[in-house]
């Protein structure tokens, strides 16, 4: 287990998504139905930050070529994206988002 503190949960819930750098990784935090989820922030197709994309129906749309990823599972939803993004366990402690990078 390798847990790292990141940002206040309230900020993520208010903004809907937020990019963070934790343990040398560029990660994305997304708020869905009042819960916070962590995924890789770099699209698996080419270089784009998913936190610059649009979130709808539990998926984030890559801003570059509109590839879709399920935020809860990281699953790529079809071309042009074929490789899933990583997902990470999250817990909230004293209002701070902690992310497990292992």
DSSP string, 57-102: TTEEE-TTT--EEETTT--B-BTTB-SPPPEEEEEEETTEEEEE--
Q: What is the rounded CA–CA span in Å between residue 99 and residue 6? A: 7
Total number of residues binding ligand FES (CB under 6 A)? 10
Among 51, 67, 76, 90, binds ligand FES (CB under 6 A): 67
User: Which structure tokens are listed for 20?
Assistant: 């963070």
Which one, 48 or 86, has the nearer CB to ligand FES?
A: 48
Q: Which of residues 37-66 bind ligand FES (CB under 6 A)?
A: 43, 45-46, 48, 62, 64-65
Check residue 81 for interaction with ligand FES (CB under 6 A). Answer: yes
The binding site for ligand FES (CB under 6 A) comprises 43, 45-46, 48, 62, 64-65, 67, 80-81
């Amino acid at each position: 287990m390798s847990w790292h503190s990141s940002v206040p949960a309230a900020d993520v819930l208010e903004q809907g998504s937020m990019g963070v750098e934790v343990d040398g990784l560029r990660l994305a935090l997304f708020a869905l139905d009042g819960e916070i989820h962590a995924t890789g922030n770099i699209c698996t197709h080419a270089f784009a930050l998913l936190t610059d994309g649009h979130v709808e129906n539990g998926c984030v749309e890559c801003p570059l070529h509109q590839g879709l990823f399920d935020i809860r599972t990281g699953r790529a939803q079809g071309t042009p994206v074929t490789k899933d993004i990583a997902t990470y366990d999250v817990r909230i402690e004293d209002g701070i988002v902690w992310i497990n990078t292992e």
